[in-house]
Structure 1
Amino acid sequence: MSMFCFQCEQTAGGKGCTKIGVCGKQPEVANSQDELTCALIGLARAAKGQSAGPKADDLIRCGLFTTVTNVSFDRERVQELVQQVRAEKNKLDASVADFPASELWAGDQDIVSLRSTLLLGLRGMAAYAVHAAVLGKENPEVTAWFYKGLQALGEEHSAEEWLGLLMEFGKVNLACMALLDEANTSAYGHPKPTKVSLTVEKGPFIVVTGHDLLDLKQLLEQTEGKGINVYTHGEMLPAHAYPELKKYAHLKGNFGTAWQNQQKEFDNIPAPILFTTNCLMIPKSSYSDRVFTTSVVAFPGAQHVSDTDNVKDFSALINKAIELGGWQEDKEFTGINGGKEVMTGFARDTIMSVAGTVIDAVKAGAIKHFFLVGGCDGAKPGRNYYTEFVKKAPQDTVILTLACGKYRFNDLNIGEIGGLPRIMDMGQCNDAYSAIQVAVALADAFKCGVNDLPLTLILSWYEQKAVCILLTLLALGIKNIYIGPSLPAFLSPNVLNILVSKFDLHPLTTPENDLQTILK
């Protein structure tokens, strides 16, 4: 059986996976996800590009999220969604057919490139919309655009029209990220700078990975007073900075590094792991019996935690932690560069509160340049670029970072400027909204445009959430972005040339060359 998938950075040969996914996804799963995508386009067509009610809205968000890389490896669960989407479509208009799967990746190279970029952006935005929805936050404009975007995927458009849709989508995704920011901060407070230990204390513990803070909150509530410690992993690290989460004394620290190291770091771990969103890799036999999934995450044989009225029962997970017992003695771990602790919590509220200090430092020449070095981490060679870039960045520069790409350097101690650490972790990938707000605030303070600031974005991408963030940045007119470690396979040469010429998009070269070009 064959398949086709080129949506992630590690896709085979830089062109596309056709026999089995580099992520380990089997052809029957990939093809079922294509079938789900085509059914979602059919639902949007039947709804005539408008919201069709809460159930359909939820199916569209969850259906798109299910097709993001490293979310679901379970064909049966994907097929269940396919049937639910078709049933909802038939309620609206049974005469509307699914979009033909044979046409999903077929056609003129440039049109396929543009259409695919919109689809992958929609998948990324769906992840953020799901996180906001579980906290009771929805935006009618965002919801309506899922239908509009899906309907557009099944239509013919010129290259210029596709580019227009992509820019329109980028602005809507900003509204979606703002929605999630509001959802998280209203539920858990504004993040505060927090030091996080990388040591795991003896005794029973649970590791929580992914992005969903509500899952972590419910788990903390259900484990309180039971002698079980909870550790974050990967993109969950920023949870330690939220006041309503950090108040739990048994939220102890962070386990391991970024998602692509999990098969090594989870090997024979004496504790269960809860996967709340994407970032799941095929579990090794040494820990497959202690993998728990929830939400749209799924793997055949893994224990899935479902919810009733948005409340999840983690008792099986808790019992597993008690059964496994943890380590007999404290285990001291380090980051990639040997550091024993990391910091997080430098979101927009924190940085805005010290804006005066930052502005004074720029005016005095103590800060010459800001770099936003962040994005998705991954397994392909070349990602040590980001470590070396940060190490080689001059002492009068500040490194803002977010998402799991920060694990390449977030345990480095590269000093301070004016009492502020030179590395400031702004949070998860969706917290790119914080970075954008800070850039806008600085531009206002210096009475210039964002592109005139001494600010350069050095982005690492892996999957579809990085795609929607990039489209938002481009829609805002932000130029001179450096992206790597390799360019997306779904960007055709002609489309890439358009982005390079219109937005000054730069492929990475070497840290030395790029620093010299940026700072000259």
Structure 2
Amino acid sequence: MNMFCYQCEEAAKNEGCTVVGMCGKPADVANLQDMLIWSLKGLSYWLQKGKDIGIVDEEKDLYVAEGLFSTITNANFSAKRITEYIEKALRFRDEVKEEFLRKYEEKNGSPFSEDVPEAATWNKKGGTEIYELKGSEVGVHAKENEDIKSLKEFVTYGIKGIAAYADHAYVLNFSNDDILNFIEKGLTETLRTDITVDELISLVNETGKIAVDVMALLDEANTKTYGNPEITKVFTGTHKAPGILISGHDLLDLEELLKQTEGTGIKVYTHGEMLPANAYPELKKYKHLAGNWGGSWWRQKEEFEDFGGPILMTTNCLVPPKESYKDRVFTTGLVGFDDVTHIPNRADGKPKDFSAVIEKAKEIGDLPERDGKELTIGFAHNQIAQVTDKVIDAIKNGDIKKFFVMAGCDGRRKERDYYTDFASQLPKDNVILTAGCAKYRYNKLDLGDIGGIPRVLDAGQCNDSYSLAVTALKLKEAFELDDINDLPIEYNIAWYEQKAVTVLLALLYLGVKGIKLGPKLPAFLSENVAKVVIEKFELSTINSVEEDIETMTK
């Protein structure tokens, strides 16, 4: 059975993957994920109806976000796990539906009689094969006006990122009902067959607003739980001792692993988007948090092979592992891959049990001692705020000409060398603000500093992109400007998956114009939708390094 997926930047021919995903996602999983999203839309429909008459179910509200998170690129490759998510979504949907219909009739004295979308009623037994077939019918292949379809997917992908950020916050016991309510509202709206282009454009804008809200919520969750990130130097080699590598984004998983390995002689190293964890005071206090190994997600086949110890994947960014190290890979949370050991979720208020990972580290024994370049991290908005006066003086004196926001995602294609070349050729009176794995294209370059201010200021994970928005807004206030676009800040952002779409929508909602987005514009933007976005927000894609530097440094 064929698939169709164009949710990430690697979409084949910039049109869509039709046989197997460039990410490694097989066709059956792609179709099952489409079915899961459709099922979550049906669940959202009844949750929204329920709220209209006072029915609230927090467990099911959160499940919508969790289910969406599992469909983000490079998160879950397991047909079995996705099938289980679908079955749970359908069970939850029917429970909410039955409760709503009963209470509606009790309240109104007559049965509910509105037309109901198929996603809210479909019910056919048969398991994985039936779900896969239905997913192929209701996914992106579904026949619909191209512009309507494009805008619906734009909203859906933005909501996927919102769901991921919301889930991270909820894990740390920080919540916002309005965010979960919007996720359900947005999904339900995409079921409408009569929705107009104007209504969808308004929904895209609202998605941007909620994107800002959810990133603020996650920032609050991280900083109140683990403290404000501090400027920190991070070792990137390995010590002669047993070691565990933890990748993904989940800080609570890291904290629980650190607690369970304390006193064992095992060193814990971060990988990829976990690098910023080394800057949080409440995580830094664990002396066996030994540094960072490796770089961007797409290099993991070589880096995981070379590391030699067990690897724990906590969220998206898993590349299908090689047979040579698959027995050392452990997944947890929403991450799924067949034939690797999965660590179950927390139950009864107890932490996850990482004993299997720990025993594997002991079994393997000492890693070799390896040198590594030192990285300086921790430049989140709280740290930038402490040196705002110094930054403003540097700008006024002409020492700093401009800031370049080079946040977002990395990717494996050769064209991504653009970002390394751009950073290395950027005139020395410019400073880079970054967050996300895009930084691995240039964070080991010797770019120096300007009056003690490093030329690469790393705010953290893609989850921490909010810091860059806060920094821009604080500078706008400090310079007493009316328009954020009057700041000496340029935006040259790389994207890969759906959380980057969420960040883009947040920036557009905040009024940022003139963003360069690359290496290419999303395939899910139809010609007409792309034209509207480009004209309204002055969005463009990258050109040559030389041309873009000349244009953007004027």
2:530 maps to 1:496: yes
- Equivalence map 1:106-117=2 (5 Å): 106=142, 107-117=144-154
2:127 maps to 1:98: no
Cα deviations by residue, 1:449-479 (Å, 9 ceiling, x for unpaired): 2100010111000000000110111111110
Q: Are the counterparts in 1 of residues 47 and 61 from structure 2 also a CA contact under 8 Å?
A: no
Deviation at 1:103, TM superposition (A): 4.0
2:218 maps to 1:214: no
Match of 2:299 among 257, 261, 275: 261
Structure 1, unpaired ranges of 5+: 334-339
2:499 maps to 1:465: yes
**Aligned counterpart, 1:132:** 169
Cα deviations by residue, 1:131-169 (Å, 9 ceiling, x for unpaired): 100100111110110110110110132111111001011
**Aligned counterpart, 1:154:** 191
2:411 maps to 1:378: yes
C-alpha root-mean-square deviation of aligned residues, in Å? 1.3
Cα deviations by residue, 1:261-301 (Å, 9 ceiling, x for unpaired): 00111125421000000000110011000110011001001
**Aligned counterpart, 1:74:** 78
Cα deviations by residue, 1:59-86 (Å, 9 ceiling, x for unpaired): 1011000110000011111111111111
2:353 maps to 1:332: no
**Aligned counterpart, 1:474:** 508
**Aligned counterpart, 1:43:** 43
**Aligned counterpart, 1:305:** 343
**Aligned counterpart, 2:362:** 322
Structure 1 CA distance for aligned equivalents of residues 455 and 57 of structure 2: 47
Q: Are the counterparts in 1 of residues 271 and 295 from structure 2 also a CA contact under 8 Å?
A: yes
Q: Are the counterparts in 2 of residues 134 and 310 from structure 1 also a CA contact under 8 Å?
A: no
Structure 2 CA distance for aligned equivalents of residues 260 and 326 of structure 1: 26
Match of 2:454 among 414, 417, 421: 421
Structure 2 CA distance for aligned equivalents of residues 44 and 62 of structure 1: 13
Q: Are the counterparts in 1 of residues 35 and 138 from structure 2 also a CA contact under 8 Å?
A: no
**Aligned counterpart, 2:230:** 192
Q: TM-score, normalised by structure 1?
A: 0.97
**Aligned counterpart, 1:246:** 284
Match of 2:382 among 349, 360, 367: 349
2:61 maps to 1:57: yes
2:163 maps to 1:118: no
Deviation at 1:58, TM superposition (A): 2.0
Equivalent AA in structure 2 for residue 424 of structure 1: L
Q: Are the counterparts in 2 of residues 357 and 418 from structure 1 also a CA contact under 8 Å?
A: no
**Aligned counterpart, 1:178:** 216
Q: TM-score, normalised by structure 2?
A: 0.91
Structure 2, unpaired ranges of 5+: 102-115, 121-133
Which has the higher Rg, Structure 1 or Structure 2?
2
**Aligned counterpart, 1:32:** 32
Q: Are the counterparts in 2 of residues 198 and 256 from structure 1 also a CA contact under 8 Å?
A: yes
Q: Are the counterparts in 2 of residues 269 and 287 from structure 1 also a CA contact under 8 Å?
A: no
Equivalent AA in structure 2 for residue 67 of structure 1: T
2:232 maps to 1:165: no
Deviation at 1:173, TM superposition (A): 1.1
Cα deviations by residue, 1:348-382 (Å, 9 ceiling, x for unpaired): 00000000000011111111111011211111221
Equivalent AA in structure 2 for residue 462 of structure 1: Y
Deviation at 1:313, TM superposition (A): 0.6
Q: Are the counterparts in 2 of residues 391 and 414 from structure 1 also a CA contact under 8 Å?
A: yes
Deviation at 1:48, TM superposition (A): 2.6
Structure 2 CA distance for aligned equivalents of residues 482 and 206 of structure 1: 38
Q: Are the counterparts in 2 of residues 270 and 326 from structure 1 also a CA contact under 8 Å?
A: no
Q: Are the counterparts in 2 of residues 372 and 401 from structure 1 also a CA contact under 8 Å?
A: yes
Deviation at 1:11, TM superposition (A): 1.3
Structure 1 CA distance for aligned equivalents of residues 549 and 484 of structure 2: 19
**Aligned counterpart, 1:142:** 179
Aligned length: 513
Equivalent AA in structure 2 for residue 372 of structure 1: V
Q: Are the counterparts in 1 of residues 409 and 495 from structure 2 also a CA contact under 8 Å?
A: yes
Cα deviations by residue, 1:222-267 (Å, 9 ceiling, x for unpaired): 0001000000000000000000001111001101010000011112
Structure 2 CA distance for aligned equivalents of residues 196 and 433 of structure 1: 22
Matched-pair identity in %? 47
User: Structure 1 pair 310/456, CA: closer, same or farther in 2 (3 Å)?
Assistant: farther
Q: Secondary structure of 2:414's match?
A: coil
Deviant stretches of 4+, over 3 Å: 49-52, 94-97
**Aligned counterpart, 1:486:** 520
Structure 2 CA distance for aligned equivalents of residues 483 and 238 of structure 1: 24
Q: Are the counterparts in 2 of residues 268 and 287 from structure 1 also a CA contact under 8 Å?
A: no
Q: Are the counterparts in 2 of residues 377 and 461 from structure 1 also a CA contact under 8 Å?
A: yes
Q: Are the counterparts in 1 of residues 243 and 269 from structure 2 also a CA contact under 8 Å?
A: yes
Q: Are the counterparts in 1 of residues 408 and 436 from structure 2 also a CA contact under 8 Å?
A: yes
Structure 2 CA distance for aligned equivalents of residues 180 and 47 of structure 1: 24
Structure 2 CA distance for aligned equivalents of residues 23 and 497 of structure 1: 28
Q: Secondary structure of 1:200's match?
A: coil
Equivalent AA in structure 1 for residue 270 of structure 2: T
